[in-house]
């Protein structure tokens, strides 16, 4: 989440149960993979402790834990991060067919059809995923096998919008998660009780591509202070999930690439 300097550390990763998390500290801290306890204190956090007995001390701490954020920092975000189960399918592209790879094919989204995807990058396959929120998901214990229903829906969509891939083989599947906030905006704010602790997350399905900007913004807030973007505040994050769906320009559901 940005370089906060030698005395600042960022905690990020996934939890292994209530009140703990897997973190990777900065290389300068000497930490690799380790379970880190949730922050405790009244006004400031002096250190975080790992399950393996290590201690990390810093002037500032940033917890950027993705879908585990509500578990790791429950005082700030419990009930305000809504992880959902998102299924991703990669379809094989016919050999020698360049229509589905860059530069001919960009990243795309069909708002009306509620699907988005990526071109065939480095021969990994043509990515297709439902843009609609999936069911609630526990990133520690949730089932990570794609359902047959998801595959059928993706094939139906391909047949309509990318007919050239309607019979394409599946080369990879995976279950990921969105870390949604109630309004779909990031949450980047100071902890409500610990003045030197910050939380950063709520990518709501868009976190990765905004990563560099989010890191720069978070580092600026932590090191220099000042007023932050009101939309990113904890105060704007409720415990009821909402979402605004945009409309597609092409309302005819025409094939994007014909056979």
Question: Does the pTM exceed 0.95?
Answer: no
H or E element at residue 180? strand 170-180
Residues near 218 by beta carbon (within 8 Å), at least 6 away in sequence = 1, 2, 62, 64, 188, 198, 200
Which of 177, 208, 227 is at the close of a domain?
177
pLDDT of 147 above 90: yes
- 69 shares a domain with 24: yes
- 185 shares a domain with 77: yes
Domain containing residue 139: CATH number: 3.30.9.10
pLDDT band at 34 (very low <50, low <70, confident <90, very high): low
- 215 shares a domain with 147: no
pLDDT digits (tens, 9 = 90+) for 181-199: 998 899 999 999 999 999 9
What's the pLDDT at 234? 94
pLDDT band at 33 (very low <50, low <70, confident <90, very high): low
DSSP H helical segments within 14-162, as ranges? 69-72, 74-77, 148-161
- 36 shares a domain with 23: yes
pLDDT band at 249 (very low <50, low <70, confident <90, very high): very low
Domain of 226, in residue numbers: 8-81+181-236
For residue 168 the two structure tokens come to 């394409």
| 257 is a domain residue | no
| 2 is a domain residue | no
What gap in Å lies between CA 73 and CA 153, rounded to an integer?
36
């Amino acid at each position: 989440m940005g370089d906060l300097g030698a005395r600042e550390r960022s905690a990020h990763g996934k939890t292994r149960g209530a009140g703990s998390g897997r973190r990777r500290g900065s290389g300068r801290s000497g930490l690799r993979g380790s379970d880190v306890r949730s922050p405790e204190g009244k006004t400031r956090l002096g250190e975080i402790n790992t399950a393996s007995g290590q201690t990390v001390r810093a002037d500032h701490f940033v917890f950027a834990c993705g879908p585990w954020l509500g578990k790791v920092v429950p005082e700030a975000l419990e009930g305000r991060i809504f992880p959902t189960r998102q299924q991703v399918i990669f379809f094989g592209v016919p050999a020698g067919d360049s229509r589905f790879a860059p530069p001919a094919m960009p990243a795309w989204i069909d708002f009306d059809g509620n699907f988005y995807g990526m071109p065939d990058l480095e021969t990994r396959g043509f990515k297709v995923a439902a843009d609609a929120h999936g069911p609630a998901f526990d990133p520690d214990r949730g089932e990570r096998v794609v359902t047959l229903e998801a595959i059928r829906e993706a094939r139906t969509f391909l047949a309509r919008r990318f007919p050239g891939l309607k019979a394409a083989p599946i080369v990879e599947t995976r279950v990921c998660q969105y870390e949604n906030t109630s309004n779909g905006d990031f949450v980047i704010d100071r902890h409500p009780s610990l003045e030197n602790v910050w939380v950063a997350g709520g990518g709501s399905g868009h976190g990765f591509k905004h990563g560099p900007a989010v890191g720069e913004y978070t580092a600026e807030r932590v090191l220099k202070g000042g007023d932050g973007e009101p939309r990113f505040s904890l105060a704007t994050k409720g415990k009821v999930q909402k979402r605004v769906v945009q409309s597609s320009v092409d309302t005819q559901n025409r094939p994007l690439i014909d056979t």
